[in-house]
Amino acid sequence: MPIVERPTGGASLLGGSIVLPANACGHALPPRHVSPWVGEPGTAGTVAVVGAGKMGLPLAAQFAGHGWTAIAYDISEAVVGAINEGRSHLVEEPGVAELVAASHAAGRLRATTDGVAAAREADVVVLIVPVKLDAAHQPDYSHMDAAVDAIAGGLHEDSLVVFETTLPVGDTRGRYAARLEAATGLRADVDLFIAFSPERLYSGAVLRNLATYPKLVGGLGPASTERAALFYDSVLDAEIVAMSSAEAAEFSKLADTTYRDVNIALANEFAAYADRVGVDIREVIAAANSQPYSHIHQPGIGVGGHCIPVYPHFLLSRAPELTLVARSREVNDGQIRIAVDAVREALGGLDGAPVLVLGLTYRHGVNELAYSRALPLVDALAAAGARVSAFDPLLSDEEVRSLGAEPWMWGTPSDARAIVTQTGDRRWPMLDAAWFPDLAILVDGRNTLADLALPSGVRYRGIGVSRSNQIPSVPHLAS
């Protein structure tokens, strides 16, 4: 596809989930393999992917599938060993295992624990290792700093280094370009090309996303931007957007994820008001989103995952004056308190009260705990004196215990007086109230159980959703 300066299209914002069609591959495969690779159309070189985790391995496989020789560098010997046997360690990512096996069999994909050797052989080095938050909600660079240092000794004249890990604005240039120049003696955008290109991937749909979403690329200068855009144009089937700078590309990813956090916080505040006036927030949002300029997200018990609860803090670390961003983080993290208070009120206290939490991973169907709101939920209930049990179909009993809860076996009798759902797992609508003879309240943290059959004495509490159609009187301003 052509390389452009602005995305040429987008989806209609009519509300709900947006699924864009994947682009068909338009490359003439196989490309001509060259060394060194300098961006000539129809050619491929060697790429090292630093970090062979849940996003890095699919990237390496994608690149290899488009004719590049891909070297996955990782510090885990088990991960490296699996790749070198043609196996993917990602069991839940559609299509990746097959692409890894095919690329390895074709001799285009291998792995190593030697970062210097991988960078020395590569024309392109793509870094995708975690930058998380420390205890003070500041960026934790320990993994990325170590990764940069691990490959710096192998970089050479004309190497292209691309950061795909989300970074605070200015870090590609101010933190890492300077670090690489000092380590190599090369000049950025002259002898060493450096760019930022944010991953825009969703667990469970990574390969589809790579063929769908425009790929944003911003370099330290025109030469770096051009070299990075040409690389991605050779390995992806999506539109490539060459942005004006690395900073613009960095900011674009933070703007994307922070928009969603702010939008969800707004939905959560709308839900609180819906509770007060006795309307169903789902009906309100669906009606509002029928106007194409409205795209209100869904409220819930909080926001988890690697991205949305983290990247607003990257913005705030450099721009604390963004008070709306800070307030949105407070609102979304505060949803846990709403659930705990609802249970406390219904049971007349939490000391010794048996409470069952359903769903511990940050999202249903994804076996990851990254910033899952179940973790502070379990902690808050336990700190208030509750006896917390939990169930998640993706976690073992040992894993549940390690999170501070006693495991509950699906379908067995329980003395739980309260149930709180933290994910929207498709299994929850099959709950049978007969399993819980003492149940007093169900807190539906994802608004997926409003139609569940419950005994008349059991209270249902959604997030802006109740089972009462009674509309309380709403004060009006005098005319």
Cα distances (angstroms) measured from residue 320 to each of 99, 207, 260, 317: 43, 36, 19, 6
Whether 188 and 177 have beta carbons less than 8 Å apart is answered as yes
Nearest alpha-carbon partner for 235 in 258, 207, 262: 207
Nearest alpha-carbon partner for 86 in 77, 76, 71, 99: 99
The first and second tokens of residue 88, run together, are 């993917």
Residue 173 has pLDDT above 60, yes or no: yes
What pLDDT, on a 0 to 100 scale, did the predictor assign at position 18? Answer: 61
For the question of residue 215 being annotated catalytic, the response is no
Say which of 25, 54, 132, 253 is annotated catalytic.
253
What pLDDT, on a 0 to 100 scale, did the predictor assign at position 6? Answer: 76
The CATH architecture assigned to 3-18+28-244 reads 3-Layer(aba) Sandwich (3.40)
What pLDDT, on a 0 to 100 scale, did the predictor assign at position 478? Answer: 38
Residue 165 has pLDDT above 50, yes or no: yes
Domain range annotation of the chain: 3-18+28-244, 255-333
Can you name the residues that pair with 460 across neighbouring β-strands?
A: 442
Give me the amino acid identity at 323. Answer: T
Instruction: For the domain covering 255-333, report its CATH number.
Output: 1.10.1040.10
**Could you give the CA distance from residue 269 to residue 262 in angstroms, rounded to a whole number?**
11
Long-range contacts of 185-188 (CB under 8 A, 24+ apart): 186/155, 186/157, 186/159, 188/220, 188/221, 188/224
What pLDDT, on a 0 to 100 scale, did the predictor assign at position 91? Answer: 83
**Could you give the CA distance from residue 192 to residue 181 in angstroms, rounded to a whole number?**
8
Average pLDDT over residues 236-242: 96
Residue 429, C-beta contacts closer than 8 angstroms, at least 6 positions apart = 448, 449, 451, 452
What pLDDT, on a 0 to 100 scale, did the predictor assign at position 8? Answer: 75
Q: β-pairing, 139-140 with 132-133?
A: antiparallel
For the question of residue 253 being annotated catalytic, the response is yes
Residue 468 has pLDDT above 80, yes or no: no
Q: How confident is the model over 363-393, as pLDDT tens digits?
A: 888 888 999 999 999 999 999 999 999 999 9
Per DSSP, the three-state class of 123 is coil
Residue 476 has pLDDT above 50, yes or no: no
**Could you give the CA distance from residue 189 to residue 284 in angstroms, rounded to a whole number?**
51
Q: Do the first three CATH levels of 3-18+28-244 and 255-333 match, i.e. the same topology?
A: no
Q: How confident is the model over 398-434, as pLDDT tens digits?
A: 999 999 999 999 999 999 999 999 999 999 999 999 9
Say which of 25, 132, 215, 307 is annotated catalytic.
307
What pLDDT, on a 0 to 100 scale, did the predictor assign at position 471? Answer: 42
Residue 220 has pLDDT above 70, yes or no: yes
